[in-house]
Every structure is written in C-alpha cells, then in structure tokens.
Structure 1
Amino acid sequence: MPSFHVIRPTHSRHGRSIRAASPSAGRLPALLLGLTALTAPTIALAQAEVVELDTVIVTSASSIATSIQDAPASITVIDQSDIRAKGARDIKDVLRTVPGLNLTRGNDGNSQVSFRGLSSSRTLTLIDGKRVSTRNTFARHYGGDLQIVPLDAIERIEVVRGPMSTLYGSDAMGGVINIITKKATETWSGSLTTDFAFADENSTADSRAISGYISGPLGNNLSLSAWGKLGETDAPDAPYAYSEGRGGVLTPLYTSNGMRTKTLGTRLTWAPQEGMEWGAEVQGSVDNYLGNVGEPDSRKVSRTSYGLTNELQLGQGHLSSYLRHETSGNESWNATTGTWDDPIDYDTTTLESRYTSQTTLGGRQFDYTIGGLVAHEKLSDPQTSAELIEGSVDTAAIYAEGRWQATDMLSLTTGLRVDHHERFGTHVTPRIYANYDFGNGLMLKGGYSQAFVAPDLRNLNPNYEMGSRGNGCKPYQGPCTIVGNPDLKPETSDNYEIGLNYQGERSSWEVTAFYNDVQDMISARRIRPATPTESALFQRDNFDYGKTAGIEFGLDYQINDDLTWTTSGTYIAKSEFKYGDFDTAYPMATTPKWNITTGLGWQANDKLNLSGEVTYVGKQAGYVVEDGLVVGGDEQASVPAGQNSKAYYLVNVAAAYDLNDMATLNVGIDNLFNGQPESDVSYRENGRLFTLGITTRF
C-alpha cells in the first residue's frame, strides 16, 4: 500500500482527531443526538480563535492520504517520538492512551485489545496495510500479532476505531491497528535497543530483549531495510490462583505466559525510475511459549511471510499492488510422548491492487479509490479436537470509495465493498461519512457503516470441539464443551458515530459517541446441561443481537513549552447480548464501564524527559449476577469470573535521558502500586515492574 511522510504537529503529542456518526439509516440513538447539543456552545468559542496548524498525514482511515483531522474516521496516530518519550518496550505500552481502546488481560494470561465494547476477535491487525493471520492457528490463548515488528522498525501506528470493512473486509468490525514500518533511507542509519524488566513478586515475570533496525542504499536505485528482535519473558515462578474444574481438578492461573521470541525481517526496494517502485520482503519469527518452572516449552509458534509490492504513478493517479503469502504453524509439546505434536497450520495467499486518483465533480474536488483482491486460506488443525479439522476457503472482493468536497466546509465520503465468500455468497458493505469544518481548528464528524464477519473454518466444522472453563459458557458457569456448527450465518452490524474534534495551538481535544448494533452475533448456545459425568455441551450459533454504545474522549494540553497534560478515556453505556428467552442481558466482552488514562510529560531540560500516567480501570460494563434465577426449568447462573466488580488503578512512571546525540537511557516503574482487580476475577495485570533500557542510534 502507498506510504506517506508524517509531519508531527506542534500542538499535540498524539495528534488526535474527532469522529462523528452518520446522518443516515433511520433514527439514531438518543446518545448520539445528545452529543450535538452538549457541544454546540464550544463551536462559538472555537470560532473566536484563528489557528494555523501543521498536519499529520494518515492513510489507514482512507486509502487517500489526508490529514488526521480531515480523515473520514476516528483515528489516533502514535509515531516514533511518542514511543521514545514513553520509553515503551512494546506496542501495548503505548496503546492505553488511545480513546475507545481497551487493554486488559484475559484468563489465559494474554493481553487483549478491543474497541468500543466489542470482542477482541473483532480487532484487525495490519502490517503496512496487509492483514496478519497467525492468530488463526489458535483456537484461543494466542499472545497476539502486536509483537511481530520491533519498535525500532516502526514509523508510526495508525489506530482506527470503528468498523473499516469497506477497505479491509472481514474482522475489521471493532477497529484496525495498522503498524507502518520505516521506509528505506538514502544514507545508512539504524538503531539498537536493549531493555530489561525486573519484577518484585514471584507471580509476575522478569523479561529482557534486544532489537535493532538498519537501512541504507545498495546502489543502482536499490536499498535495503532489515530488522530483528530477540526477547524473553520468563514464566512466573508461581501462579496467582487456581481454577477448580469438574471433578475438583485444579488448574494454575498465571499473570502472563512465559515466551521466548525471535523475529527477523528484510525488505529490498528498487526504484528504477521516477514514479515506479518495486519491493520484495521476507519476514520470519518463532515464539516459544515457556512451560511452568522446570518444564519444557509448552508451545512453539512459527510464522513466515513473503511479499512482492509495486507502486506505480499513472498520470494523476497511483496504483498500489501486492502479492503476499503467509504460513503459520502452532506446535504443542506432548508430555506423554516427549515430542512435539503435529502442528496446526494456517496458510494465506492474497493478491490486492488499489488505484487512487482525483478529478472534479460539479466543479469540486473528488478523490476516489477503486480496488480488488482475491485470497485463499487453508487450515489444518490436528490438535484442537479428537478428529482432524481442515478446510479451505476462497474469497474475493471489489470496493470503491470516494470523497467529494461538497462545499468549502463540507466533505462527504461514501464507500461500497462487495465481498464474495465461497460458502456464503455475495455480501455488500456500504459506508457513508461526513466532515464539517467550522474553521479555526474545529471539525464535526459523523458516519454510518456496516460490517461483515464470516464464521471461521473451525466453527463451521461439526467435528470441532473446544473445552472452556467458563468464559465461553455464557451465561452459565463453566466448564463446558463447545462444538462447531456448519449452519452458522455471517455476523453483520450497523455502526454509527458522531463527534467533535478541535486542534488548537496549545490544546487539542476530541469527543465521540458511538453505537454498534450487531445482528446474528456468533456465540455459543447450550444444547445439553451438565451431567454428573459430562460437562455441559454448547454449539456455535447465531444470537439475535448484541449492542454496544458509549463515548470516547481525548485531550492534549500544552501547559507551557515544557509540560504537557494528556488524557483519554472511554465510557461504555451499553455492552450486551440477549440469550434466547432469558430476560437478562449479558456483557459482550470483558470491558470496563470507565477506562481513563491521564498523565503528564515534562521536558525537564535538553536531555531529560519525565512522564507519569494513571489508568483507571472501572467495574465491568453490564456487570450482572443472576445466581439461582430459574427460567423455563433451567438455572441461569452468573457470567463467568472474567467480570471485574471493583475498580482499580495502574500507575506508571518513566524517565528518558539523552546520554548524547546518539544514545538514550530509559528507566521506569510499571504498575507502581501493584494495582489489581478483585481476587476472584480470572485475570491479573502484571505486578510492579522496574524497567531499564538504552537505545543507540547511528
């Protein structure tokens, strides 16, 4: 996909902008309409100040390069200066400040990224605009795609909140995290980073890593970029608790998975003439999931990808194409045989082309994109069930999006995607968005879009079986066994957002209201209660609906030339799904009702930057306990213990000191006061961690 240079704004660390919801598709919820009345007085205030701003150019919210404020979506940009100022060790360290995004640990010890009260499975991860499919080798317990590219190799991260199915297809219902890597440089340069984290309690683990990036010319219009990382997070010395399953079997619960990571990537770029560029990229990585203390590795995950890209200037337009093949393997250690079991394999091959250009329509500028792709996916899973789960699917899509500058103040964006799924036929996904510029830095945004998610190859297979200790057994208590269903239908949603964004000389803020209405939500329905000898049996099924609604907000305020205050947060007013004839609504995801992060960054002198932030993680949105309620002769128990019934705080402090022009020392303390959820909740945050790192640039 096309790449563009980012120019940092002088007024904002995070370059936030505001989002909005649509004037279409029937009656909007009162939550969205009320926002306009609340923010109307601010319009008059903003018009009193004339501000000239630099811009941040983004591409994820629209395939056409645009400023973050003008982008037809809710988008946050995190660039290298943000990462360096924070002394971040991985991507998740910087994501907590994104409005609308929730980052908590699941009961498998892994951090989960979700948007707007939707499940984490509805978050799409991209690298340079191309989807990563390694998580499809897992039925659960995946450590995530966010550790694939080391921070040294990242140019910026564009986070789009809300559905982007028109441009990116299935799985982009909640939001998109697009990791954009650095481009080749005209002179040889690079960086090397080492970091360490030391825990002060045995239920949280130490870690260490070294990563690097290098780029430069090879001659004859040929350049090279390469990156790599070696890292290890120890398995915690002791579990924080035990989960009791059927028959009194105790399962230890750990704060995080121990993991050893190796990743290496390289890209060759050839620009034979002006307006033409070819690229070839290879990347591979291996993650070893460490066993408990004294035990062998429990799992080995490998991924390899090959890609060819072409960027071609055609008159006023630009054609961007790529062919990419990714293969992933997931092997489990068999303690009985002392060998690795046959791996779960998932292969994906994708060919996509996208053309962007501009013309005039009614005497006004009209930017447009047309594109198409074909993809083949193949799964072979001999581990999850007693029988081999395998299958393949071919998909294809064509899409178009246009942005028309209707007036000097109003721009309209419309898009349409037609997906063809080998099993589910043709599905049409529309999108409409409006931006209204009040001037002087104030922008009103609003949009309506649909999203489409096809059931995956596992859930469609009748031989698929997966055990759950409780989180998959909603609304009953676990454990249970979940089986596949070949009659599943695709999940669709109608999504609305509306908001205001202000970009000033010393301050910027945003507030956005959203509403998501999910139809045919893919979940699991109980078809057999538990017996004295067998756990309850659930089958994948489509529920009638799931709904989420809320408000997300962000503020950057430059108190003086050296001190900046940053705040972001999300309020989930609704996150629920209905199950059959039960009257009670249950939460769609493990999402706090309030999630707020606020912090200060102080440039103490030319060399020293100090920062601190506090994150408030509130009570579970839609928290419900219906213990003992009898409906139709069945006992309706509580949602599993993933619900958090009491708020807690996370406090991080950090310092970055420039030893010289080429080296920076980072020190910090994560979770300073060891904030944790209630003891009966089936996840834990990392405890107090002391961090130390140094980055050398050359």
Structure 2
Amino acid sequence: MVTATDNERQLSHAPASITIVDGEQLRRRPVNDLADALKDTVGVSLENVGQGRRGISIRGMSGEHTLMLVDGQRISSSASAIAHSDLELGWVPAEAIERVEVVRGPMSSLYGSEALGGVVNVITRDATDHWAGSLSSYALANDHGLGGNQYKNGFYIGGPIVPGQLGLTAWGEFRQRSMLHDATDTALSALDRQRALTGHLGLSWTPDSRQRIDLTADAVNEKQAGVHGGSRGVPYRSENEIQRRRYAFSHTGDWNWGTSRVRLYRSTLDRQIWRSDGDDASGPNRFVDTVLDTQASFRVGPIHRLTVGGQVRRETLEDPNVNRKGKQSQNHYALFVQDEMALGKHWELVLGSRVDRHEDFGWEISPRAYLLFHPTERLTLKAGVGRGFKAPTLKQLSPEFESWAAMGGRGVIRGNPELQPETNRSFELGAAYETQSWSASATFFHNDVRNLIDTVRQPACFVPGRVCLAYENVARVRLQGVELTGGVDLSPRWRLDANYTYLDARDRVSGGPMPDRSRHRANATLAWKPLASLSTRVQLEYIGAQQRADEAGKRPGYTLLHWYLDYALNRNLSVQVGVENLSDKRLANDDLALYSRADEGRRYFVGLKAQF
C-alpha cells in the first residue's frame, strides 16, 4: 500500500487503519461506482446526499470529509459546486482498478483539505512488459417492474509499445441505469436515469532505469434525468448533462540519494441543467481544479526516512449564483514533511505535518504521529493521533452567493466570508494478528470534530414569505467507536470473512445523537470453492437503526443478503450470476417517510468476462 505515507509499505506496517479492496474481486459483482465497491468495508457507510445519490462516510463523518484520490491525485468533491452531487465516485471503472486503498482517520498531514475523515485512493492497472487485456459485461434486472435496471460494458488493455521504454494503457466503459419509479407514485423517480461513457488513454515512458514519465487523459460524459416533486406540489422533470475531463503529467525518479516526484494535473467539470417547470436551476456550472505538487524522499542515517514536498492548487468555479460576476477562484499553498523512523527491530514511529496557506482564512497546520510495535511477526500494535481540516467551499465563502433552492424552494441560503475551516482531532488504538489460516484486528477510534459548517436560520428575511439561512461554524460532534475484522479458512474450500463497526455519534451542542448514523453495522462473506473452476459466496449486510433527522423517531435496522457464483468456462472466459437483496427489502421505495434512500429490491445479475 502507498496511501498512508505516500511511500510503498507492507500492509502490516502501515501507520494507519487501512482496508485494501482488490480490483479482481470488484469485477466479480455488479459495481456501478465507488459506493458499490466500498459498501461492505469496515468503518465505511453510505450516506444519502439527496435525490438518491450517495456519499462515502468514514467513521460517521460526512461524505464531504472523505478525500478521493486516483493514483494519489486528488479529485475534489463535486458537492462543493453542485448540490446533491456524487460525481467524484465515477471516474474509474471497475475494469481498470488494480485496488482501492481506504484510510480511516484524518490524513491532512499529507493531503490537505477534505481529508479530515479519511482517504479513498483508487490505484489503476498499470502497463506491464506483456500485452494484457480484459472485456466485461453485465446486466442487473429488478424484480418489481419499476425500472432501475442496469447495463454495463467495459474494457482494459495495456502493454509495451516499445519494450522496456514506452507503455500504453487504455480503458473504456459504458454504463446505463434506467429510472427507478417511486412505488407510491410511479410518475416520480426514486432514482434518476443515468447514462455514462468513460474513456482513458495513458502513456508511460522510461528513458532510462532511473526515470519514468506518465501522461494520462480521462473523459467522462454523463446524462442524468428524473421526475421530482416541486415546491408547489407540481412534479417537474430535470435533466443534467455532465462532462468531466482530467489531464495529468508526472515524472518520478529513483536516484542514488533517494526518490523524487513532480506532478501537474487538472480536472474539469461542466454541467448543464434543465427543469421543465421553469424554476431557478443551480447551473450551468464549471469547476476547474489545477494542482502542481512535488516531493522528495531520502534516508538520513540508518533510522530516518524523510519525505518533504509542496503543493500549489487553484480552484475556479463558474456559477450564476456564486457572485455577481458568476465566477470565483481561490489559491492554496502547502508544504509538508514526514519522518518514518525505525526504532530498533520492533518499533516504528511516523511523524508528519503539513502547513496549508489559504488566501481567505490564512494558515492551517495538520500534524500527525503514529506508533507501531511488532512484538512478534504476526502481531502488530498501533496507536496514532492526528488533525485534519476541510476548507470552506467557494460558494460558502462568497459574500454574494445566494441559492434560492433551499427547503424545497422556500428558503434562501447566503454565503459567509467569515467562515473558518472544519477540523477534526483524532485518536486511535489498535491491534492486528495474522496467521496463514486466520486473521483478526480491533481498533478503537475517537474523533473530536469542531467548526462544522451548517445552514442557520436567520431572525429576519429580506424576501417576504421566504426563510433566510446563512452558513455558520456552529456544530461540534464527537464520533467514537470500535472496528472489528476477522477472517478464517474453515477448510481448504470454505472461508469466512466478517467485520463489525460500533459507532457512538453525538452532537456536542444539543447533547443528542447524530441523525442518519447507525450505531451497529456488520458485513460477512461465506465463500465456497468446490472446484478449481467454480466458486460461490453469500454476503450479509446489516445496517442498524438510525435516528431520523426530523426527530420523528428512528429508522429500524435491516439486513440485506446477496448470493454470487463464478464459473470459469476456460482460462480466458468466465461467467458470473447472482441475486442481490434476496429478502427483497425495498426501504424508501416502499416507505419514503421511513428510510432516506430507495433500494431497488430483489435483483438478478448475470455477467461475462474475457481476459487475455
């Protein structure tokens, strides 16, 4: 893994709480985006961000507090520009994923803003010395005739153009989901129709044994459409057309004194929106994020490995509501240092800190310390403390920003240039034990989150009949709990893996529990491989009761059960079948007042994969 220190390390020596999700496992089941890929990961939950879309929440933090990376390069949250957006979850198709590294806990000491809850780093498949590729296709059909069916086709290819010098990677994907109709009113959509086309081209040049240069270009074109209930009780149709682009250049060097890296990359997001009722739309939008970063890593004596680096980032938003000009920009500057110390045979200590300079609110310092103790080769004890932060968005900081879409069109939200960053002070203590046939781990975590930004109702409003709100630093939250994981080979053909998360989430202003957060979550997978060419598994997903945000009691807990089967027809071709949600829990699609997000119910999966 690389995410915890930005240097390669064995997982057992990672100075953080990390889960690695294997890309090959993802290609064996239906995965529409990263939310599907990580939903059964310990410490991770999927939060509702509105209009059926999801965010990745780590240890009860908001999805906007999880920083997304692709090969270590930041993908800024699209929600900073577009309400109810989860577009950062769909940059890389499962066909192109080597692995996903999930770091639970603040990582602002390396990655800066937005990493106060954790980091999700998608590592893509790399070109090898021999040509290799794969094709996959699947269909997912629902049981109730209300739509929501999915179709997906993808490919990956990579190999040498000039052996030993120039490599090529390319991938593409087409995915489509039909609109899922609301069971109580089939004229409305519980989940929007979605159609996305993704493409990637990358070149890797190694002019000599010490240097590597990478050039990549990614493009995603996506359309979303749905029918929603309007503020006046009249349904309206909305359509979104989104274009995302990403370009990156990087140079890495492996020298006598150490290693170096320089990267320059840019991501753009353009959205056009249309509403059939003619009400104000929150677009068109254009969001541009440009980053230049550099770092060097080298050893100082037999104990220390130092990594130093810096980053310059500029983000620009074009939005009709952000200010009178319809355009706002801000610059970020950062320096960081990290020291990985080997304290004898059994002890390791990692110290790091990053200093960020924001042109509006000034300096932010994000220190981190992590201690590892290996009393035996199989047992690892860990303890860490850290601080993370999230800078206010361009809209939140703009004194001229106004949104007239709040509270179903009844409210007006204004920006606040006096906002301060949201912060998290975190502590964790853990132990892990691993043998050839079984493994187990336990981690206690505590997050003290302050200055959370929320919309606060103002005593008077400048528009008669409306409610005026403003962004303010008001909320304080304590999030603490325990994460347990375990796996065991029951026999040469049977294996059981499970995880459990206990979360105590409390609002320290009101003293009450935080809404929309389950106290108990658990996942388990029982796998059986009767033949070399045949394997099957049953997955259980339990989500405990949640306090509702409207203070109308609790949402009851529920259990989802999934079954999958893989059969290799030959060394190059395999087929996958399965049934998701065997017990047919439909959640919000049967009772919108009870659950926050619709589930399609029982659905049938069939897929085909070819590789060469």
Give TM-score, length-normalised by structure 1: 0.81
The answer to whether structure 1 residue 266 and structure 2 residue 266 are counterparts is no
The answer to whether structure 1 residue 97 and structure 2 residue 97 are counterparts is no
Aligned to 1:432: 369
Aligned to 2:314: 376
AA of the residue aligned to 1:565: L
Aligned to 2:533: 607
Deviation of 1:550 after TM superposition, in Å, equals 1.0
Change (3 A) 1:344 1:406: same
The answer to whether structure 1 residue 406 and structure 2 residue 343 are counterparts is yes
Aligned to 1:464: 401
AA of the residue aligned to 2:512: A
Aligned to 1:683: 597
The answer to whether structure 1 residue 301 and structure 2 residue 242 are counterparts is yes
Deviation of 1:126 after TM superposition, in Å, equals 0.5
CA-to-aligned-CA distance 1:227-273 (integer Å, 9 cap, x gap): 1111111112x22457xxxxxxxx97643221100110100111110
Give 3-state SS (helix, strand or coil) of 2:55's partner: strand
The correspondence for 1:545, drawn from 447, 470, 476, is: 476
Aligned to 2:453: 522
The correspondence for 1:121, drawn from 64, 67, 74, is: 64
Give 3-state SS (helix, strand or coil) of 1:368's partner: strand
Q: Distance in 2 between matches of 1:592 and 1:480?
A: 29
Change (3 A) 1:454 1:90: closer
Aligned to 1:651: 561
The answer to whether structure 1 residue 351 and structure 2 residue 292 are counterparts is yes
Give 3-state SS (helix, strand or coil) of 2:360's partner: coil
Give 3-state SS (helix, strand or coil) of 1:687's partner: coil
Q: Is the 8 A contact 2:238 2:275 kept in 1?
A: no
Q: Is the 8 A contact 2:81 2:287 kept in 1?
A: no
Q: Distance in 2 between matches of 1:370 and 1:454?
A: 23
Aligned to 1:696: 610
Q: Is the 8 A contact 1:646 1:677 kept in 2?
A: no
Give 3-state SS (helix, strand or coil) of 2:585's partner: coil
Q: Distance in 2 between matches of 1:482 and 1:641?
A: 23
Q: Distance in 1 between matches of 2:243 and 2:145?
A: 29
Matches within 5 A, 1:254-333: 254-292=189-227, 298-333=239-274
Q: Is the 8 A contact 1:452 1:493 kept in 2?
A: yes
Larger mean CA deviation between 486-495 and 66-75 belongs to: 486-495
Q: Distance in 1 between matches of 2:170 and 2:241?
A: 24
Deviation of 1:136 after TM superposition, in Å, equals 4.8
Q: Distance in 2 between matches of 1:296 and 1:217?
A: 48
AA of the residue aligned to 1:512: T
Q: Is the 8 A contact 1:235 1:292 kept in 2?
A: no
Give 3-state SS (helix, strand or coil) of 1:98's partner: coil
Q: Distance in 1 between matches of 2:310 and 2:332?
A: 11
The answer to whether structure 1 residue 572 and structure 2 residue 484 are counterparts is no
Matches within 5 A, 1:182-221: 182-219=125-162, 221=165
Change (3 A) 1:352 1:531: closer
Aligned to 2:431: 500
Q: Structure 2: state its 5+ residue gaps.
A: 229-234
Q: Is the 8 A contact 1:122 1:172 kept in 2?
A: yes
AA of the residue aligned to 2:428: E
Q: Distance in 2 between matches of 1:407 and 1:597?
A: 38
Deviation of 1:531 after TM superposition, in Å, equals 12
Deviation of 1:105 after TM superposition, in Å, equals 3.9
Change (3 A) 1:90 1:390: closer
Q: Distance in 1 between matches of 2:597 and 2:476?
A: 27
CA-to-aligned-CA distance 1:39-67 (integer Å, 9 cap, x gap): xxxxxxxxxxxxxxxxxxx1001112111
Q: Distance in 2 between matches of 1:96 and 1:338?
A: 35
Q: Distance in 2 between matches of 1:264 and 1:339?
A: 33
Aligned to 1:130: 73
Q: Distance in 2 between matches of 1:523 and 1:390?
A: 23
CA-to-aligned-CA distance 1:66-120 (integer Å, 9 cap, x gap): 1111100000111233324556554333312311100244442012210111111
AA of the residue aligned to 2:136: T
Q: Is the 8 A contact 1:378 1:392 kept in 2?
A: yes
Q: Is the 8 A contact 1:330 1:344 kept in 2?
A: yes
The answer to whether structure 1 residue 395 and structure 2 residue 332 are counterparts is yes
The correspondence for 1:83, drawn from 23, 26, 44, is: 26
AA of the residue aligned to 1:585: G
Deviation of 1:479 after TM superposition, in Å, equals 6.0
Change (3 A) 1:280 1:173: same
Identity of aligned residues (%): 27
Matches within 5 A, 1:601-680: 601-620=527-546, 623=547, 639-640=549-550, 644-677=554-587, 679=591, 680=593
Deviation of 1:585 after TM superposition, in Å, equals 3.0
Structure with the largest fraction of strand: 2
The answer to whether structure 1 residue 67 and structure 2 residue 10 are counterparts is yes
Change (3 A) 1:163 1:642: farther
Q: Distance in 2 between matches of 1:449 and 1:465?
A: 35
Deviation of 1:134 after TM superposition, in Å, equals 6.1
CA-to-aligned-CA distance 1:359-407 (integer Å, 9 cap, x gap): 32xxx5222211111011111112x579564310111101011111112
Aligned to 2:518: 592
Q: Distance in 1 between matches of 2:40 and 2:83?
A: 26
Change (3 A) 1:567 1:252: farther
Q: Distance in 2 between matches of 1:391 and 1:654?
A: 48
Change (3 A) 1:552 1:253: farther
Q: Is the 8 A contact 1:287 1:302 kept in 2?
A: yes
Give 3-state SS (helix, strand or coil) of 1:666's partner: strand
Give 3-state SS (helix, strand or coil) of 1:400's partner: strand
AA of the residue aligned to 2:490: I
AA of the residue aligned to 1:365: I
Give 3-state SS (helix, strand or coil) of 1:672's partner: coil
Aligned to 1:447: 384
Deviation of 1:296 after TM superposition, in Å, equals 7.6
Larger mean CA deviation between 271-280 and 640-649 belongs to: 640-649
The answer to whether structure 1 residue 536 and structure 2 residue 467 are counterparts is yes
Q: Provide the alpha-carbon RMSD of the alignment.
A: 2.8
Give TM-score, length-normalised by structure 2: 0.92
Q: Is the 8 A contact 2:40 2:541 kept in 1?
A: no
Change (3 A) 1:130 1:272: same
Q: Distance in 1 between matches of 2:407 and 2:222?
A: 27
Q: Distance in 1 between matches of 2:339 and 2:106?
A: 17
Q: Distance in 2 between matches of 1:252 and 1:303?
A: 30
Larger mean CA deviation between 511-520 and 292-301 belongs to: 292-301
Deviation of 1:684 after TM superposition, in Å, equals 1.8
Matches within 5 A, 1:39-78: 58-78=1-21
Q: How many residues align?
A: 601
Give 3-state SS (helix, strand or coil) of 2:109's partner: helix
Aligned to 1:418: 355
Deviation of 1:561 after TM superposition, in Å, equals 1.5
Relative contact order, higher structure (CA 8 A, sep 6+): 1
